[in-house]
Chain A
Amino acid sequence: MDFLPTLWFILIAVLWTGYLFLEGFDLGVGMLMKVFARDEKERRLLLNTVGPVWDGNEVWLITAGGATFAAFPFWYASLFSSLYIPLVFVLLALIFRAVAFEYRGKVHHDTWRRVWDWAIGIGSLVAAFGIGAMLALTTTGLPLDANGDRVGGPFAWFTWYAVLGGMAVVAFCLLQAAAFLALKTDGDVRLRARRLVGRWLAVGLLPLAVWAIAVAVSNGKWFSWVLLAVAVAAAAVAWAANLRGREGLSFLALGAFLLLGSSTIFSGVFPVVLPSTLNPAWNLTIANASSSPYTLGLMSIVAAVGVPLVLAYQAWTYWIFRKRISTAHLPEPHDFAPAVGRGDAAAAAAGGS
């Protein structure tokens, strides 16, 4: 077994899992802005629970993409070009969502805020669905030819697996977001979020479990079932902890479920990184898709320094912003008068840049 490609396969699986664990709840909070928050104050509360951290979370996606490019260029090239259309939607969704986070509160106007609320809600939904579909397809296969290019047209990727993966990530994000809100807020929102977790836990985890089971069945590795059994136990812990109001434990147990689920999936497909549904001989594997040992070695050194550092300072960030917040903590939104002479309105109107 090639040591370095295996190491990098594991590292990329870790990056994707880290991405889903962290951005999972901020994508979910974004979706909940439209369906869970009852008024403007609650929408702002939701937004500010993830305000300081969402951008750092998103870098996990960029790093997962970049690491795939560096370590497995053939995997990166085939996966991203095959999923051209869905990834365009993911990109647009991420663009709107990012800009919305920053711009929403910058103008004190209802329509302005409503437009950006939609951008956050739909952006989060589309991004989660698209990423989920992509991950499901890389574990179940795409119609690739010998060169690794997609055949069958722009929508050849659209299969039940894509839908399943999309639903799995969307549902998990929503659930994780509810658990996060129960942990991070206070007052009415906290209670309602906790109730949401209790009611929807099984439904929220089901599609992810189905995806993991599908991979386990088709790859036939015995330890898949062990991992899945532990995952179910983690889900039970999450449910029980939530019932007793132990929100931190509940949140972490959901994270454990994700970790076990993704371990089942990635270890199940190993050493294949992207199967071809047309001919198994055209599968991309850690052997034929990877970079040279020199590059992998170099990147391993960088990762050995970089990843612990990232974990350390991101953990510190969460520690800094660990306090629960409630609607009462939010400063009043302010609008400002332009610094132009008020007695001189005509000149002011003409002086704009």
Chain B
Amino acid sequence: MEALDIARWQFGIVTVYHFLMVPLTIGLGLLVAVLQTVWHRTGREEYLRATKFWGKLFLINFIMGVATGIVQEFQFGMAWSQYSRFVGDVFGAPLAMESLLAFFVESTFLGLWIFGWKKLAAKVHLACLWIAVCGSVVSAYFILVANSWMQHPVGVKMVDGYPHMVDAWAVFTNNTALVAFFHTITGALAVAGAFLLGISWYHLWRRRHDGIDTVDAAGRVVVGESDTIPGRSKLDHSVWIKSLRIGAVVAMIAFAGSAVSGDMSGKLMFEQQPMKMAAAEAACHDGTSFSVLSIGDLSSRDCSKVVAVMEIPGLLSFLAHNDFTTDIKGVNTLVPEYQAKYGTNVPDNPIYGDRAGQPINYVPVMPVTYWGFRMMIGFGGLAALASAVALFATRKGTVPRPKWIMRLALLGILAPFGANAAGWIFTEMGRQPFVVAPNPSMSGIDQVFMFTAAAVSPGVSAGEMIFSLAALASVYAVLLVVEVVLLAKYIRGGVPSAMPELGHAPGGEGDRGDAPDGDGDDVLAFAY
């Protein structure tokens, strides 16, 4: 493999991995902040317990996002130096702003929140969490401004072959970015909703399994209590049923939001990157039909072997233009258009190495775009549907007995993660062969584009790339196992895993058994 291919695999792997942690951080952070706010307002113990428990899981996940985030920033310069040179004038600004205006806020105030229990006034402590969570949300905005500029370059003019920013307002209010921001936040909330739902279901199921909660003749829950098992008081039942309902409702609203924003995003994309949407449909010929199932050799890239098995007439036209009759250009129409505008062959420039002079393939890898698009929607819809079912199934205050349903609920946690990953893979792969996509329509600046083949670092060898890919991928794999094991341990521990004062067996020593001698200061409320 060439350095370019390795660099692309590396970018894909580390970015998809990073984006496993990011939506959970954003979504769960918002929900924990809401839970703590409710506790602060009402003083009800179950909300404190929920804050502590979900907050602990939030932190276990958060740190992985932080650790893998540094790679994201460094790798532009390391593996994609030519890209960094080309776009630096406009792309670097949102990245720098993300650090200065979002990451600092996030890290500093989260440190205050973690270590500030009982040390800060309750209001200040709560405010720290909100500020930190806002930091995460703001960071999503800035990074999406950067990414959206690659999808829809605006606010620049070309100077000596480089795009120079001339209109910051256009860059930071790029319609692509605003819609993507909305779409990303709703996607993150869907992840957090399913997370709350699945884990709460597990705990409610355990309580029934252990005979703590039972149901009466009408099927209503009879909440019980166990003296011997920590985390099995009546209050804990309340923690789980409330978390479950919050999670389910959030997941459903989030899906509705992502459907709306996804539709908006799609309409923009039909205009800005028609080839991406044609590839999402594996649509070879012009038409109005949305493909429900297409088979054949999607990877042939020349469309000759794609067979549409089932189509919904008019739907594609609706997705693009809100009517049922406008023909949408297919791959076969678009390829000559792209060739006329951006050339048939890679320019004869040493930057392109062996690729110089070769024909350009303007069609993205269709099995990826076709199935990526469908997995994004499918997993998202599945999670929303499951949430509705879960809400109904638990209307009487607890979950059904069967174990397999509990397992499904836990498995369901993965669906929104899958939707997020599939969506990103679709939109980034669908942009190929460009790293900065030209926009043939009126709204984009047509002649601002860059081929991915020109973006890689010319001075970095394939061997170096292989080394970094192997090192990062193996470390990431190990850390994913560690994170999941740790999450599982804390999930199984229930509330006492986050509130040690609840976890001691009756008659055992209190948490503060070892009183400090000497100056008589208090023991820290939290320490690593």
Contact = CB atoms under 8 A, between A and B. Distances in A.
Interface in A284-342: 291-292, 294-295, 298-299, 302-303, 306-307, 310, 313-314, 317, 320-321, 323, 325-326, 328-332, 334, 336-342
Contacts of A220: none
A67 to B, nearest CB: 5
B495 interface: yes
A55 interface: yes
Contact of A95 (B76, B210, B475): B475
A77 interface: yes
B365 interface: no
Interface in B481-528: 482, 486, 488-497, 500, 503, 505, 511-514, 516-518, 521-528
Interface stretch (B22-30, B33-41, B83-91): B83-91
Contact of A340 (B73, B206, B468, B495): B206
B77 A351 contact: no
Contacts of A98: 63, 66-67
B85 A63 contact: no
B358 interface: no
Contacts of A79: 77
Interface string A103-119: 11111000000000000
Which one of B74, B79, B488 has the greatest number of beta carbons of chain A within 10 Å?
B74
B493 A87 contact: no
A71 interface: yes
A104 B89 CA distance: 41
Given A59-B107, A84-B78, A73 B523 contact: no
Nearest to A327: B516
Give the dominant DSSP class at B's interface: helix
Contacts of A302: 96-97, 100-101
A62 B99 contact: yes
B230 A154 contact: no
B112 interface: yes
A18 B524 CA distance: 28
A351 B459 contact: no
B231 A330 contact: no
Interface stretch (B113-121, B217-225, B300-308, B368-376): B113-121
Given A47-B528, A74-B85, A334-B500, A294 B76 contact: no
Given A62-B73, A65-B73, A330-B523, A294 B164 contact: yes
A298 B523 contact: no
B209 A347 contact: yes
B1 interface: no
A326 B159 CA distance: 60
A323 B524 CA distance: 11
A305 to B, nearest CB: 8
Interface residues of B, number: 112
A73 B77 CA distance: 9
Given A81-B460, A320-B119, A353-B491, A329 B528 contact: no
Interface string A59-89: 1011101110111111011111111110110
A52 B115 contact: yes
A93 to B, nearest CB: 10
A73 B85 contact: yes
Given A88-B467, A353-B488, A342 B229 contact: yes
A256 interface: no
Contacts of A82: 459
B473 to A, nearest CB: 12
Given A87-B78, A306-B100, A154 B464 contact: yes
B77 A80 contact: yes
B89 A291 contact: yes
Contacts of B527: 44, 48, 51, 105, 329-331
Interface in B157-172: 159, 164-166, 168
A88 B81 contact: no
Contacts of B91: 69
B458 interface: yes
A353 B107 contact: no
Contacts of B490: 106
Contacts of A307: 100
Given A292-B164, A302-B97, A314 B108 contact: yes
Interface stretch (A145-153, A166-174, A211-219, A234-242): A145-153
Contacts of B51: none
Contacts of B511: 331-332, 334
Contacts of B517: 328
B309 interface: no
Given A77-B84, A339-B496, A340-B492, A53 B92 contact: no
Given A88-B471, A307-B100, A334-B500, 17 more contacts: A51-B528, A66-B95, A66-B99, A70-B96, A72-B88, A80-B74, A81-B79, A84-B457, A98-B67, A102-B60, A103-B60, A103-B482, A292-B159, A314-B108, A331-B526, A334-B511, A337-B229
27 contacts: A55-B111, A56-B108, A58-B107, A59-B104, A71-B92, A80-B76, A81-B77, A84-B464, A91-B74, A95-B68, A98-B67, A102-B528, A103-B482, A107-B486, A149-B81, A154-B463, A187-B518, A294-B166, A328-B516, A328-B523, A334-B503, A339-B206, A339-B231, A339-B494, A340-B210, A351-B206, A352-B488
Question: Which 3 residue pairs of A and B lie closest in terms of their CB atoms, listed nearest first?
Answer: A73-B88, A80-B77, A149-B459
Interface of B: 59-60, 62-64, 66-71, 73-74, 76-79, 81-82, 84-85, 87-93, 95-101, 103-105, 107-112, 114-116, 119-120, 159, 164-166, 168, 202-203, 206, 209-211, 226, 228-232, 236, 403, 410, 457-461, 463-464, 467-468, 471-472, 475, 479, 482, 486, 488-497, 500, 503, 505, 511-514, 516-518, 521-528
